[in-house]
Amino acid sequence: MATFQFYQKDNITVHLDVDSPSFLQEKDQLVKQGFERISDIIQAETSQLAHEKFKTVHLDELLNYM
C-alpha cells in the first residue's frame, strides 16, 4: 500500500507518493510554486484509488459544511 499527500493551488490538485525517493524534492518544488498541502495523508493501493478517497473525504466535508 502506498502513502500519498495532496497539494493544491487554485483549481489544481496533485499528489505525491510519500515513500518516493524524490518526495522531498518534489514537495519543495510544489511549495515554491505556491502549492499548499491539503488533507491528511491517504493510503491506497494506487494513486487513482487515493484520488477517489480524497474526493470522498472532501465531498463529505463540503456536505457537512452546507
Q: What is the pLDDT of residue 44?
A: 93
DSSP letters of 1-65?
Answer: -EEEEEEEETTEEEEEETTSTTHHHHHHHHHHTT-EEEEEEEEESSHHHHHHHHHHHHHHHHHHH
Indicate if the pLDDT at residue 59 is higher than 60. Answer: yes
Indicate if the pLDDT at residue 66 is higher than 80. Answer: no
Higher pLDDT, 4 or 62: 4
The pTM for the full model equals 0.79
Find the domain containing 44 and state its range.
2-65
- Cβ atoms of 38 and 7 closer than 8 Å: yes
What is the pLDDT confidence band of residue 57, given thresholds at 50, 70 and 90? confident
| pLDDT, tens only, 2-44 | 999 999 898 888 999 999 999 999 999 999 999 999 878 899 9
